[in-house]
Amino acid sequence: MNEKSPISILFVCLGNICRSPMAEAVMSKLTEQSGLRDKIYIDSAGTSGYHQGELADSRMRHFGQIRGYQLLSRARQLEASDFEKFDYILGMDDSNITNILLLDHKDKFKNKIFKMTDFCSTSQADFVPDPYYGGTGGFENVIDILEDSCASLLDKIKQEHKI
């Protein structure tokens, strides 16, 4: 990436159908609202390929829509080439971080890898809980945590890149 390339962010969870596509939608909206849409490239991926090619989970899309987010992405699996392509790689929980680091065979990209909740400013969450096997409250909780952490992450990126 040179200085003219967009800054790039990759959100990562296990299946790429609940948490990371939601993070992608929240951050896309925030960058649009800040007039930074063309400066920041945003994508998401799963550490597994279980749901490759699928739209986000219908429950995540439903609760996202209620909050004004449209989830349009299709699931894909994280690949080693993503480490070169992206400037910030955000895992949703410790297991995601472990699996991301396992793909970084030569330990070259550690400084790009963060846990999403490290950026929380109001939420006390230590990770973004997987809502897949739980009730509807889990999906709303995911959005609450992501709205908080994405806002702070965007502030950090704006400061770091003076944009």
> 18, 19, 57, 61: which one is catalytic?
19
Sequence letter at residue 147:
E
CB closer to ligand 4NP out of 33 and 137 = 137
Active-site pick, 43, 57, 130, 148:
130
* Interface residue list for ligand 4NP (CB under 6 A): 13-19, 50, 130, 132
Q: What angle do CA 7, 122, 142 make, to 5 degrees?
A: 70
Catalytic residue flag (residue 130): yes
**Coil, helix or strand for 112?**
helix
Report the nearest approach of ligand 4NP to the CB of residue 115 (Å).
Answer: 14
- Measured from the CB atom, the residue of 8 and 95 that comes closer to ligand 4NP is 95
Specify the residue, 13 or 100, whose C-beta has the smaller distance to ligand 4NP: 13
- Given 3-state DSSP classes, what are the helix, strand and coil percentages for the chain, each rounded to the nearest 5? 45, 15, 40
| Residue 56 vs 120, nearer CB to ligand 4NP | 56
Nearest distance, CB of residue 109 and ligand 4NP, angstroms? 21
Q: How far is the CB of 154 from ligand 4NP (least distance, A)?
A: 21
Residue 19 among the catalytic residues: yes
Q: How far is CA 135 from CA 76, 78, 129, 139, 149, in A?
A: 25, 27, 12, 8, 22
75: Cβ–Cβ under 8 A, 6 or more apart, which residues? Answer: 15, 16, 17, 21, 46, 51, 52, 53, 54, 55, 56
Residues marked as catalytic: 13, 19, 130
